[in-house]
Amino acid sequence: MGRTTEHRPWLPFANRADAGTRLARKLHRFAGRQDVAVLGLARGGVPIAAAVATALGRPLGALSVRKLGVPGSPEVAFGAMARYGGHTTTVHRHHTMDHLRRDGYTVAELDAVAAAEEAELARRRQLFAPDPELPVAGLTVLLCDDGIATGATMEAAVRVMREAGAAAVLACIPAAPAQACRDLAGVADEVVCLQPWRDLHAVSEAYLRFEQLSDSQVLALLKRRERP
């Protein structure tokens, strides 16, 4: 992970468009390169990726990802799933799963969460991704999200890009816990994080406005940014 381009003390991001614009400045070395593709983790990463793709003059795509949340506490991840180009990758946080089993959660309960999220992955893939999807084989892929809490979804995204044949995969985020960035550095070719916080409990902490995105908002961004 390189040095941040953000001035200290860090200013919060006004919204996802602002975060994407500021992130694009850190990625200017990729401007105009024909071997680069930009993908946003749907839903929240698509506005980030749209701003980056526009600034760099590169095509925009969406990658379907889902966190595997603890039953009753969905904000706590025990894993994540990502799907792209006919490949599906699942990442498990085995340490968390061991704790859950000790706390009385059954394998059937966790499997039910995974089944529900796999169904949602299929729905989003059909909705957000054209057929064929944006090619990534042999390319440098800039994976963009609006931030990271645990890093599970971004790890799944990086791994599915490798399965799809990407030559290099960069995890690009406006804000994340510094430890999560260090962990991702062992999976991605590079981690580009504008604000590696010592403690970041929720991505929304880095934003002034951080509303939920609808399917229609994501589709509008994808249609507005057509492939060059």
Q: How confident is the model at residue 127 (pLDDT cuts 50, 70, 90)?
A: confident
Whether residue 145 lies inside any domain: the answer is yes
Whether residue 49 lies inside any domain: the answer is yes
The whole-angstrom separation of Cα 195 and Cα 11 is 9
Whether residue 170 lies inside any domain: the answer is yes
CATH number of residue 166's parent domain: 3.40.50.2020
Whether residue 87 lies inside any domain: the answer is no
Whether residue 134 lies inside any domain: the answer is yes
Whether residue 219 lies inside any domain: the answer is yes
* Residues 134 and 64 sit within 8 Å (Cβ to Cβ): no
Max alpha carbon distance in the chain (Å)? 53
Instruction: Give the mean model confidence (pLDDT) for residues 146-159.
Output: 94
**Domain tally, the chain:** 1
pTM of the model: 0.90
Residue 41 has pLDDT above 80, yes or no: yes
Q: How confident is the model at residue 7 (pLDDT cuts 50, 70, 90)?
A: confident
Residue 123 has pLDDT above 90, yes or no: no
Please give the residue range of the domain that contains residue 20. 16-64+130-224
The pLDDT of residue 122: 85
What distances in angstroms separate CA 109 from CA 71, 119, 120, one per listed residue? 7, 16, 17
Whether residue 212 lies inside any domain: the answer is yes
The pLDDT of residue 97: 66
Residue 217 has pLDDT above 90, yes or no: yes
Q: Which residue has the tokens 């059937």?
A: 108
Burial label for 114, CB within 10 Å (0-12, 13-18, 19+), is middle
Q: CA-based angle 211:214:215, to the nearest 5?
A: 150
Residue scoring higher pLDDT (160 or 85): 160
Whether residue 139 lies inside any domain: the answer is yes
User: What residues have CB less than 8 Å from 42, skipping those under 6 apart?
Assistant: 62, 63, 64, 65, 124, 128, 218
Q: How confident is the model at residue 24 (pLDDT cuts 50, 70, 90)?
A: very high
